[in-house]
Amino acid sequence: MVCSACGAAVVDGVRFCARCGAAVAAAPIGGQTYAAQPVPVAGHYAVPYAPQPRVQPRLQTLGTFWCVYALYRVVAAVIGMIVLRAFTLGSFGGAGWPLHRLYDGRNGWGQHGPGGWDWLLQVIAVVIVISVALSAFTGWSLLQRKPWARTLSIVTAILALLKFPFGTALGIYTLWVMVPADSATEWEAIAEPE
């Protein structure tokens, strides 16, 4: 059999084309053949609506983007910790720096420092670790075509919208690919069964 949408060879018994995700017409029952309908002209009112595949051609790119975004978040977090540590230990500008030696590695914040802010740094570190793990897991699940990866990617994309500019761009792109109803149908066709 040949896919009517893209022309790729299709194995007998499958419901959707592996290349483009289009539905494959079933073979006639009992060997009966029916008269072929005339091929409609593009732009004519008789042309039935056939959604273009949105998920299949973009799935590899989307999964890779989520993995790269997780790596970017790790690098940004490490650089941020280095800058924060240098800032609080007074390495920027020496003794004349306003926050010079506010943070002592053994005793925490000094008497002039923002007392009790150690917990905030720990909360920020935990949030960063969770968001990196979630981004990497989303990318992996999309590349593996897990059945629940579409839902996970939508939730992760909504959370990533707050991380301007890269998280916002990736979140918008993910929502554009995964949210439409046609994308849900297409995802069910291409997702790997559990």
- Three-state secondary-structure class, residue 9: strand
C-alpha–C-alpha distance, residues 122 and 117, integer Å: 9
What residue ranges in 14-113 does DSSP mark as E strands?
103-104, 108-109
In terms of Cα–Cα distance, which of 190, 66, 68, 191 is closest to 137? 66
Mean pLDDT of 80-99: 61
Summarize the confidence of residues 22-26 as an average pLDDT.
71
Quote the crossing angle between the two packed helices 118-143 and 59-88, to the nearest 10°.
Answer: 160
Domain residue spans of the chain: 56-190
Cα separation of the two ends of the chain: 27
| pLDDT tens by residue, 159-184 | 999 999 999 999 999 999 999 988 99
pLDDT at 113 over 50: no
Whether residue 48 is preceded by a cis peptide bond, meaning omega within 30 degrees of 0, is no
Flag whether the pTM goes above 0.75: no
Cβ contacts of residue 51 below 8 Å, gap of 6+?
A: 182, 186
Radius of gyration of the chain (CA): 26
**Contact 47/40 with Cβ under 8 angstroms?**
yes
- CB 55 within 8 Å of CB 45: no
CA angle 72, 53, 151 (to 5 degrees): 50
Half-sphere exposure (Cβ direction) of 24: Cα atoms closer than 13 Å: 22
- Spatial separation of the C-alpha atoms in residues 134 and 66, rounded to whole Å: 9
pLDDT at residue 33, as a whole number: 45
